[in-house]
Homo-oligomer: A and B are copies of this chain.
Amino acid sequence: VNAKIVLLPGDGIGPEVTEEGRKILVEVAEKFGHKFEFESHPIGGNAIDDFGDPLPEATLNACRNADGILLGAVGGPKWDDPTAKTRPEAGLLKIRKELGLFANLRPITTHEFLLDSSPLRREIVEGTDIFFVRELTGGIYFGDSNLEQNADGSETATSTMVYSTHEIERVVRVAAKAAQGRSGHLTSVDKANVLEASRLWRKVAERVVREEFPDLKYDVVLVDAMAMHLISRPSTFDVVVTGNMFGDILTDEGSMLPGSMGLLPSASLGSDGPGLYEPIHGSAPDIAGLGIANPLATILAAAMLLRHSLNLDDEAKAIEAAVDAVLSAGHRTKDLAKDGEVSLGTIEMGQKVIEALNS
């Protein structure tokens, strides 16, 4: 296929890891006979410095015309002044909103060599492979809010969780399709025993699955119970779909399970148009420019881009297998290495993955 891929390197270690993501995509294009065009654009703190805007118009336009977007990371202490007019993170929020990226995909995969770094016991976490789908543009983070002064000088604040049929349908479809391509097990998480917004969520999710995905194994779990199950029996879940705030809490809890965040990618998808792919780790300004950042989460994000935006599942699997092979061979970046273990730099690690892809 021909595809236009926009790179948004961002701040801190963003440029270093994005470059390794680009290289693996170049390699995949060559190996599988595709043609990928790349454009790089500013976002985040450096865009504030250069253009006074964390998401310059030119960046946004390039993203709109792309088939997929690979982002590094944004932010850093330089732009943390609370009195500043804008912040790097505003660029991320705006791009999600402008591109209508309503579904956030967060795979939580475990690797044998990291099992003893998990806070969970090996026998509990072993085999965990969860695919979270979090609704990203609705719910209580985007509902009406209000702060009222009462007559007695006290204040009352409200935040409204709101979901509509259509919003629930589309994110459940994303999750259900993902479940079809995996083990066929979908779990929806809500708080329908108490919340009206969750009762609608549960009703719509059940209808969508019953009418459109009848072959899935489908179950529902309450959010408080899910917070328990995630640590008591994480390996029993496959695809988990939930609302924005519940997903925020549960995916962060889940990100602890593998024993490192350095291997976790994420994707944000809209109805059509390009998806946005990125590592879940931040810009790590303390190690920026040292050449020691771990590029694997970004490389795995590039694999997700191939699968979800370009429909190139074999190519995505080839990258994932290459990463697995490199890790199984014992190669580690500094964040993954145990005391005394030799570690590779960012570029060396990227090169190892390319070699594994071609071997």
Contact = CB atoms under 8 A, between A and B. Distances in A.
B160 A165 contact: no
Interface string A190-220: 0100111111110000000000000000000
Contacts of A249: 223-224, 227, 249
Interface string A131-172: 000000000110101110010001111111111111000000
Nearest to A196: B145
A160 B161 contact: yes
A95 interface: no
Interface stretch (A14-22, A55-63, A117-125): A117-125
B231 A252 contact: no
Nearest to A156: B164
Interface string A253-264: 101100000000
A356 interface: no
Interface residues of A, number: 50
A194 B159 CA distance: 9
Contacts of A253: 224, 227-228, 230-231, 253
A232 interface: yes
B231 A119 contact: yes
Given A227-B253, A252-B228, A157 B199 contact: yes
B231 A196 contact: no
Contact of A121 (B120, B161, B191): B120
Given A163-B156, A249-B223, A195 B141 contact: yes
A283 to B, nearest CB: 17
A245 interface: yes
Given A121-B119, A227-B252, A249-B249, A147 B196 contact: yes
A248 B194 CA distance: 12
A165 B157 CA distance: 9
Contacts of A160: 158-161
A135 to B, nearest CB: 14
A165 B148 CA distance: 11
A200 to B, nearest CB: 4
B159 A161 contact: yes
A196 B154 contact: no
A99 interface: no
Contacts of A225: 252
Contact of A197 (B118, B145, B201): B145
5 contacts: A120-B231, A147-B200, A156-B162, A157-B162, A191-B245
Interface of A: 118-121, 124, 140-141, 143, 145-147, 150, 154-166, 191, 194-201, 223-225, 227-228, 230-232, 245, 248-250, 252-253, 255-256
